[in-house]
Amino acid sequence: MNKFDVKELDLHYGDTHALKGINLPIPEKKVTALIGPSGCGKSTLLRTLNRMNDLIENVTIKGDVKLEGKDIYQDRNVAALRMKVGMVFQKANPFPMSIYENVAYGLKAQGIRNKKVLDETVETALRSAALWDEVSDRLNSPAFGLSGGQQQRLCIARTIAIQPDVILMDEPTSALDPIATHKIEELMDELRKKFTIVIVTHSMAQAKRISDKTAFFWMGELVEHGDTEQVFTAPVDERTRGYVNGDFG
Amino acid sequence: MNQTIAAPTQEFEFKNPALIDALNQSAQKVDWVGRIFNLLFLVSALIGVISVATIGYFLVLEGLPAIQFAGLTNFLLGVDWYPPALYGIGAMIVASVVSALGAVVIGVPVALLTAIFLAEVAPKWLANMIRPAVELLAGIPSVVYGFFGLVIIVPAIESTFNVPAGSTLLAGIVVLAVMILPTVITIAETSIRAIPKTYKEGSYALGASPMFTILKVMLPAARSGILAGVVLGVARAVGETMAIIMVMGNSTAMPGSLLDSARSLTANIALEMSYATGIHASSLYSTGIVLLVFVMLLNTSLLVLNRKRVK
């Protein structure tokens, strides 16, 4: 079953044609990796899935992006969409507040004040993000005191707390060292059981390690997509072959 | 797609011995330009420090006789100002503090809302119309603010509160509130704009509304900048002289309410300096010392407030 169905999607930033006729199904409870060289449109596609591109001026979008059969650009409730489709960014961006407040933020934004609900959700989310054991004794200290990898896991916990179905990850480990990266990848392996994950990554090794499906982008086009295994070992398109073999890009 | 890059067809001489010599020689030279500039930087930085020290020194030197004459307690707490006999500036301290605080109470909320509006809410074209207007406000000479107070605020107070003279503390507060707007707005807007975009994105990505984002993430993140703006605004209000003289009535008595006439510390100096002599003149310098101490306290409070947040 597909969580997202992207059909004939065209996206322009002003005069730049950033996405050209994209057709991509994103299966439920699988990890889909979007790969390709810088500027190929993979992050742009990721940001259409939770309408983060709405924040940029001069963006025009044509085509369909369907979440569970419903076009997300027809529905006006962007907040509901973003709670269902959470996002983790390239650089960990905890808010300037305590660890607890960071995780409880999304719930408080919806007016949830019940201390018991908040406490429970914060703990569950931190446990799901494999961070609880490291921070349970200092929930009230500032999030900035955490290491880079911990901050990124905090951002994942913050996203999990709003009970999403999908988690979008925009190069979540590109600013982390190999050990912190490894921890996040382990975590993703757990999360794939409960969430649909779409990850943009520059690391082909990472895409190979963690994803079930891979989509290769090149200059705004979706060149090829399929099972990760197939895309890496038996790519159909010449450009995909060149990229995954490291000939260019 | 797999085009190979053509290898250079010719061998290039990568090293240039003459250039290497020139580079080495240049590295050996004494860097006079650097030294001269370092000196210039130091001298420029010292000019500010020396000015403050000189001003402080002469204020104390000139002001000390009056404080000795009246006694420090009588000078600060006394409410009778009858030169050449009694020198109590208590009423003026009250007038200065109340007018500045009142200006903050009215002006800062307005300024803060304006800053948020300009930085986050207003469409570009509207912000581009409001911002120059606010900046223009900063450039208006204070004597013109005084006119504005005399022509609009003072009569308005007379008719609203049914008092014989509208030249009151309240009039001073309203005029000062408008005067500190550009300072607070500009600094607050700049510090809101300086917040990393990632905060806003992170908040929106969690489904939070723009308002919630502004109140819970943006304002706290911009806190130190906003506080700096407020403190500069207070400093401007405490130091303002001309407009205050024009609208506050300048009575030396202790004001009993906001609808009484009052004289600020700055007004006291400006009004009497032209004819004061001896201890009387010295007492005006002492008034200046009190003003200087006020500003120092303000700056210190900003440091303390911002330090608390870091912990």
Looking at residue B311, its pLDDT comes to 43
Q: Which residues of A touch B (CB under 8 A)?
A: 50, 52, 55, 79-80, 82-83, 86-87, 89, 91, 93-97, 105-106, 108-110, 155, 158-159, 162, 238-239, 242, 247-248
Contact at CB, B220 and A97, closer than 8 angstroms: yes
Partner residue opposite B202 with nearest CB, options A79, A89, A238:
A89
Smallest CA-to-CA distance from A194 within A114, A62, A86, A74 is with A86
The residue in chain B having the minimum alpha-carbon distance to the alpha carbon of residue A159 is B206
The residue in chain B having the minimum alpha-carbon distance to the alpha carbon of residue A81 is B207
**Taking CB atoms and an 8 Å cut-off, how many pairs form between chains A and B?**
72
Contact at CB, A89 and B200, closer than 8 angstroms: no
| Strands across the sheet containing A31-35 | A85-88, A166-170, A196-200, A31-35, A213-218, A221-227
Please check whether residue B84 touches A, CB under 8 A. no
Distance from CA of B114 to the nearest CA of A (A): 22
Show the low-confidence residues of chain A (pLDDT under 70): 248-249
Q: ipTM beyond 0.85?
A: yes
Please check whether residue B259 touches A, CB under 8 A. no
Looking at residue B4, its pLDDT comes to 54
Contact status, residue B104 vs residue B180, Cβ threshold 8 Å? yes
Structure tokens given for B155: 């009569």
Contact at CB, A95 and B217, closer than 8 angstroms: yes
Contact at CB, A105 and B203, closer than 8 angstroms: yes
Run of H or E residues at B112: helix B90-116
Partner residue opposite B198 with nearest CB, options A89, A159, A242:
A89
Looking at residue A35, its pLDDT comes to 94
Q: Is A163 exposed, middle or buried (0-12, 13-18, 19+ CB in 10 A)?
A: middle
Rounded to a whole number of angstroms, the distance between the first and last alpha carbons of chain A is 33
pLDDT in tens, chain B (311 residues): 445 555 555 666 778 888 998 899 888 888 899 999 999 999 999 999 999 999 999 999 999 999 999 999 999 998 999 988 899 999 999 999 999 999 999 999 999 999 999 999 999 999 999 999 999 999 999 999 999 999 999 999 999 999 999 999 999 999 999 999 999 999 999 999 999 999 999 999 999 999 999 999 999 999 989 999 999 999 999 999 999 999 999 999 999 999 999 999 999 999 999 999 999 999 999 999 999 999 999 989 888 887 765 44
| Dihedral angle, C-alpha B243, B244, B247, B250, nearest 10 ° | -140
Which amino acid belongs to residue B24?
N
Partner residue opposite B205 with nearest CB, options A87, A247, A248:
A87
Please check whether residue B270 touches A, CB under 8 A. no
The residue in chain A having the minimum alpha-carbon distance to the alpha carbon of residue B215 is A109
The residue in chain A having the minimum alpha-carbon distance to the alpha carbon of residue B217 is A95
Please check whether residue B5 touches A, CB under 8 A. no
Looking at residue A249, its pLDDT comes to 54
- Cα–Cα distance, B246 to B248 (Å, whole number): 6
Contact at CB, B216 and A242, closer than 8 angstroms: no
Contact at CB, B208 and A93, closer than 8 angstroms: no
Q: CA separation (Å) from B305 to B90, B223, B311?
A: 27, 10, 11
Domain boundaries, chain B: 76-310
Contact at CB, A82 and B221, closer than 8 angstroms: no
Contact at CB, A82 and B207, closer than 8 angstroms: yes
Partner residue opposite A247 with nearest CB, options B2, B200, B205:
B2
Contacts with A154 from chain B: Cβ below 8 Å: none
Contact status, residue B302 vs residue B82, Cβ threshold 8 Å? no
Distance from CA of A115 to the nearest CA of B (A): 18
User: What would the pLDDT profile of B212-238 be if each residue is shown by its tens digit?
Assistant: 999 999 999 999 899 999 999 999 999
Run of H or E residues at B303: helix B278-310
Please check whether residue B199 touches A, CB under 8 A. yes
Please check whether residue B205 touches A, CB under 8 A. yes
Distance from CA of A8 to the nearest CA of B (A): 25
Q: Is B95 exposed, middle or buried (0-12, 13-18, 19+ CB in 10 A)?
A: buried
Looking at residue B307, its pLDDT comes to 76
Q: In chain A, what are the domains?
A: 26-52+77-244 (3.40.50.300)
Partner residue opposite B209 with nearest CB, options A79, A89, A91:
A79
Contact at CB, B205 and A52, closer than 8 angstroms: yes
Q: Domain spanning B76-310: which superfamily?
A: MetI-like (1.10.3720.10)
The residue in chain B having the minimum alpha-carbon distance to the alpha carbon of residue A87 is B205
Looking at residue A248, its pLDDT comes to 67
- Cα–Cα distance, A65 to A55 (Å, whole number): 17
Rounded to a whole number of angstroms, the distance between the first and last alpha carbons of chain B is 56
Cα B253 to chain centroid distance, Å, stands at 28
